[in-house]
Structure 1
Amino acid sequence: MDVLFIHNNFPGQFVHMAQAFAQRPGVRVFAVGSPTARPRQGVMLARYPMPKAPPKPGHPLVERFTSDVVRGELAGAAMQRLRREAGCDPALVVGHSGWGETLFARDIFPAAKQVVYSEFFYNYRNSDVGFDPEFPDGGLRTAARIRTKNAGMLTALAAADMGLSPTEWQKRQHPDFLWDRIQVAHDGVDVNAAAPHPDAQFRPAGVDRTFTRHDEIITFVNRQLEPYRGYHVFMRALPEIMAKRPNAQVLIVGGDGVAYGRAAPAGTTWKETYLDEVRGRIDMSRVHFLGQVPKPDFLALLQISSCHVYLTYPFVLSWSLLEAMAAGCLIVGSDTAPVREAIVDGVNGRLVDFFDVVALAETVARTLAERDALGAMRRAARQTALATYDLRVCLTRQMALLDGLLGAQSALEAARPALVPVT
């Protein structure tokens, strides 16, 4: 049996599923990805080239769909190459729908069961766009752009047998007529690597000090320091937090770029923009910007954290929050829908209104003051991670869903007329 994964940055979210199939006797695993895709043992990878110049759409509002179609064609050519050169004939195709790569998979492999990873469906209301009044949404033009931005994902889902979303909230961002087609199965995190360690130590590069759990440490982690992940709110709360907690050290992890949302004004970064707002009101000797750190350093940072702050717009939930839970961190999070799916206020963490700088400062300071009495909250956070987000638990569910599709396919094969692929 052949299985094909499609992801521009393979393996991406498919790393554990691909490995699980590769370990099965008699299963060949193939993958299609862009030049950034990375080879994995037991997987035959075909990369497609990126276009030398972005395509020119006929209308500005279909720019994203035009790009998706171009990627779909390039990925489709890579699929045909795998079929021609390696005899790839998948019973199952699993692909990420976010960049257009799966658009024509059904036409190339019509007999295969098709699964699309439905990570995020864009909405003009009750989602990330327009959530933050500091960044006006742009009105009808923005609404139209977002609606057409979903065209590729809708086309992919229409041709799929199943969608996979990592959280219930992400599933329900899709139109309700698609909910029955989309299953919820998180990717999971390594709860053995992200685990409490009473003797953990962390010595950041460029900081002449080693931190332990005996220190009072506030941690804030994101891929990039930007408004989508509440960096501006966190920085505005820092003066009051640091005034209330004169021994606290603040460790901030994240790059200077943008992963989501709009870029900072020309010549600036969001990091510097919001640091400049408070620079004269905080003790910079106690604030440490660490940039992007290696995974072992990130895990050690979680293990010595006294209070971990996680803020986000209504958007994709970060793996870093779940790893912080697995590490038994005391978490203060934003009271936004994705976070509420993982954190129950007062049970396995504390929640505050995303925009309430005063409440954030008070809650972080109170959590630090009470940290020795909050062992039950730490344990509850880890227990949630073990029960719901352990990658072994999640992989078992993912594989059961995929095997269920394959089983249904086998039962129908005898009665189904032969399907001819498009060449």
Structure 2
Amino acid sequence: MKIMFIHKNYPAQFGRLAVWLAQHGWDVTFATARKDVKSSQLKIVQFHEHRAPSAKTHHYLIGTERAVISGQGLLRTALALEKQGYRPDVVVAHSGWGVGFFVKDIWPETKYVQYAEWYYTYPYADHTPHTHPRSWPDESAKARTRNTPFWLDFSAADATVCPTKYQATQFPEKLQHNISVLNDGFDTQTHCPAPRDTEFLEKCGIPKDAELVTYIARGMEPARGFPEVMQAIERLQKTRPKLHAVIIADDRVAYGPKPSGKSWKNHMLDTLDLDLARLHFVGLVPRPVMIKFLQATGAHLYLSSPFVLSWSFVESMACGAPIVAARSAPVEEFMIDGESGLLVNPYVTNEVVHAVEDLLEDPEYSQRLGAAARKEIVEKYDSERTIYPRHAKFYYDLVASPGINEMIAPDEIAETSQSARRRLG
């Protein structure tokens, strides 16, 4: 089996899966726009955008024009590979960036799998009380047009996959029966419980007997619950003198609108009464460091608005961390309130604070929740034992099929094309 993964970044969602397939005898190529990428196990090919979108392009369509330019970049790379005799059996491309637009034009017999991560709707799913009202109908029209790259991919794809049920339900209902839910998978050997490393914590300025609260995100923004986390920390610091909080994030906005003035970090520091000696902003850290914090935490806060579920949330479950999370559809797909974590209304500070206190004051209860969280991820989402074999089977079945789109409901994972055809009559 020859398979090509396409993503502007590397390794992104496909890197570990690509290596696993290569280790199991597949001929794997990874096409990326990222430069200076090397791999001893994969064939890496680069593509690039030859220009930026025009300044005269309608602002609804700038993203679409950028996607077409990215698609052109991949097209040129694919043409060079075709001339060398390369023809993949399967191509998997991240949808929305345009990188897979022209796969079927170069390799019409190749099975094209569209990895569909998010469909934009209005009002926005990740709306928060901090979000300023946006102009309607302009924003509604922009959101609808923003999905154009997805539709172009869908028109050519032999199958469409989505990593979670919640993400699949964001797509128009008439498309959902064409989407297969196929999770990304998680490394539960690397992300695992371990005794608290007090020496490591002391080097970070955290006493060995500290009560530790953690937060992880790419940025500090309302979409990922940063203001609510800071409000809870303020309250907890006033009543718990041993409490320290670690914020693993960059001082930027990764999702949602940018603040008009100060960054969200500076805004919260200016408006709240926080003990900075017990508040540790560590930025983005190497994975082993992140895991050490998760292994040591007494309460990990995940107060994200409904959106693409953060990998760090599932990784914290795999580490056996006791978690206080926002009660929302993406979270409830993975976590059961009172069994594998505590779910709260993130905008009611009392709820968040009381849940954290419940965990800190009852270590046995916290350990029980953390163990149940890890069990859930190990049994259902372990990459090498469960998820990657499902991907391999999905691709094999797709190549073996006569070319119909896979008609698989979001709650069915990697069903064979033969049984799908039987169900459709």
Common topology (TM > 0.5): yes
Mapped pair 1:139 → 2:133: no
The match for 1:67 is 66
The match for 2:247 is 252
Amino acid at match of 1:235: M
> What is the deviation of 1:139?
2.1
- Does the CA contact (< 8 Å) of 1:32 and 1:45 recur in 2? yes
- Does the CA contact (< 8 Å) of 2:196 and 2:292 recur in 1? no
Mapped pair 1:394 → 2:391: no
Q: CA distance change for structure 1 residues 134 and 93 in 2, over 3 Å: closer, same or farther?
A: closer
**TM-score, normalised with respect to structure 2:** 0.89
Amino acid at match of 1:396: P
Distance 2:21 2:82 in 1: 19
> What is the deviation of 1:371?
2.7
The match for 1:276 is 270
- Does the CA contact (< 8 Å) of 2:53 and 2:62 recur in 1? no
- Does the CA contact (< 8 Å) of 1:328 and 1:382 recur in 2? yes
The match for 2:88 is 90
Q: CA distance change for structure 1 residues 334 and 294 in 2, over 3 Å: closer, same or farther?
A: same
Matches within 5 A, 1:229-378: 229-266=224-261, 268-278=262-272, 281-378=273-370
Amino acid at match of 1:42: Q
Matches within 5 A, 1:215-234: 215-234=210-229
CA deviation vs aligned residue, 1:296-339 (integer Å, no higher than 9, x gap): 11000000010100111111101111111111111000112111
Distance 1:169 1:91 in 2: 30
Distance 1:174 1:194 in 2: 31
Q: CA distance change for structure 1 residues 2 and 109 in 2, over 3 Å: closer, same or farther?
A: same
Q: CA distance change for structure 1 residues 47 and 325 in 2, over 3 Å: closer, same or farther?
A: same
Distance 1:57 1:31 in 2: 33
Distance 1:169 1:226 in 2: 21
- Does the CA contact (< 8 Å) of 1:217 and 1:250 recur in 2? yes
Q: Which moved more, 1:145-154 or 1:218-227?
A: 218-227
Amino acid at match of 1:31: F
SS at 1:90 equivalent? coil
- Does the CA contact (< 8 Å) of 2:359 and 2:365 recur in 1? no
CA deviation vs aligned residue, 1:394-416 (integer Å, no higher than 9, x gap): 112222211211222599xxxxx
Amino acid at match of 2:247: I
Distance 1:111 1:382 in 2: 42
Distance 1:134 1:95 in 2: 32
Q: Which moved more, 1:398-407 or 1:55-64?
A: 55-64
Distance 1:132 1:74 in 2: 40
Amino acid at match of 1:226: E
SS at 2:98 equivalent? coil
> What is the deviation of 1:76?
1.1
Q: Which moved more, 1:389-398 or 1:93-102?
A: 389-398
CA deviation vs aligned residue, 1:86-135 (integer Å, no higher than 9, x gap): 3210111111012111111111111011101111111113612x343543
- Does the CA contact (< 8 Å) of 1:33 and 1:46 recur in 2? yes
- Does the CA contact (< 8 Å) of 2:128 and 2:222 recur in 1? no
Distance 2:244 2:205 in 1: 13
**TM-score, normalised with respect to structure 1:** 0.90
SS at 1:367 equivalent? helix
Q: Which moved more, 1:117-126 or 1:295-304?
A: 117-126
> What is the deviation of 1:2?
2.4
- Does the CA contact (< 8 Å) of 1:46 and 1:82 recur in 2? no
The match for 1:421 is none
Mapped pair 1:161 → 2:158: yes
SS at 1:163 equivalent? strand
- Does the CA contact (< 8 Å) of 2:158 and 2:403 recur in 1? no
Amino acid at match of 2:86: C
CA deviation vs aligned residue, 1:171-190 (integer Å, no higher than 9, x gap): 11111222222111111221
Unaligned ranges ≥5, structure 2: 405-425
Q: CA distance change for structure 1 residues 98 and 206 in 2, over 3 Å: closer, same or farther?
A: farther
Q: CA distance change for structure 1 residues 127 and 216 in 2, over 3 Å: closer, same or farther?
A: same
The match for 1:113 is 111
The match for 1:419 is none
Amino acid at match of 2:158: D
SS at 2:60 equivalent? helix
- Does the CA contact (< 8 Å) of 1:37 and 1:47 recur in 2? no
Distance 1:103 1:391 in 2: 28
Match of residue 191, structure 2, among 185, 191, 194: 194
Distance 1:204 1:175 in 2: 47
> What is the deviation of 1:24?
4.2
Distance 2:199 2:258 in 1: 32
- Does the CA contact (< 8 Å) of 1:225 and 1:270 recur in 2? yes
Distance 2:395 2:65 in 1: 30
The match for 1:418 is none
